[in-house]
Amino acid sequence: MFGFGKRGRREEIRQRAFPGEWLAILEKNVPLYGRLPEADRRELEGHILVFLAEKRFEGCGGLELTDEIKVTIAAGASLLLLHRETDYYPDLRSILVYPSSFISKVTERTSYGVVIESDLVRLGESWGHGYVVLSWDDVRSGAADIHDGHNVTLHEFAHQLDEEDGSANGAPLMEQRSHYIAWARILSAAFEELRHDTMFGNETVLNGYGATNPAEFFAVATETFFEKPHQLKEKHPELYEELKRYYHQDPGEYLRDEG
């Protein structure tokens, strides 16, 4: 899948010593890191080293980039890569980081052909042409609370995984073609259930924003899978199993003392 040169270079980077000051950042800012089995923590550190070696970060809105910002974001992005062969978000060129929530212009065309432009406050965005945009305040708060089901880094990098096949449709690249059948059936059913519950104001374990479209559903389901695994497994056992198969992880295991 990957050239020998790239593979060898990444393996060399993964074998480097993980800086002590970066470890302190993980322990302070990323509580999920401390819940992982030791082997997973070592693997995550290796992925972080590669991610930071290959990806560019840009501070926006006057934000001065620090190792704390970069390592915290890299940890969230790398968590989604554990136990899987990965090309480290190959289309991603740069991560843009604002101090806090930012304004994004949205253009919509009505059914009458009228174009409407509006400003929306965003915590993060994933652009299909190589960029992720994040609010540092929300990255930090989302990583700090591992039980609220809100983690903007996990959300936006789930979008990056979804977009690797060139389309944001809630169906990321699968290891086997046969997996798409069960994925489509199970996620479509859960998506329609969330749309119904959101429309009628029913309580849900999944954030209602996931009812926007299948791409947002996958991103929201990813956040919930890693931060509310027990609740998700109870309410949507088939969805939980599909996400477990895709991510090759079972967060319910390393958060099992908090079900």
List, for residues 175-192, the tens digit of each pLDDT value: 999 999 999 999 999 999
Q: From CA 142, how far away is CA 39, in angstroms rounded?
A: 24
pLDDT digits (tens, 9 = 90+) for 35-53: 999 999 999 999 999 999 9
Q: Mark 153-188 as b/e (b = at least 16 C-beta within 10 Å).
A: bbbbbbbbbbbeeeebebbbeeeeeeeeeebeebbe
Question: Percent of the chain scored above 70 by pLDDT?
Answer: 87
Q: Phi, psi at residue 37, to the nearest 5°?
A: -60, 155
pTM for the whole structure: 0.90
Question: Percent of the chain scored above 90 by pLDDT?
Answer: 83
Q: From CA 54, how far away is CA 159, in angstroms rounded?
A: 19
DSSP class of residue 168? -
pLDDT digits (tens, 9 = 90+) for 125-162: 776 678 999 999 999 999 999 999 999 999 999 999 99
Q: Which domains does the chain have, with CATH numbers?
A: 170-259 (3.40.390.10)
Q: Which pLDDT band, with edges at 50, 70 and 90, does 116 fall under?
A: very low
Please check the confidence at residue 107 and state whether its pLDDT lies above 60. no
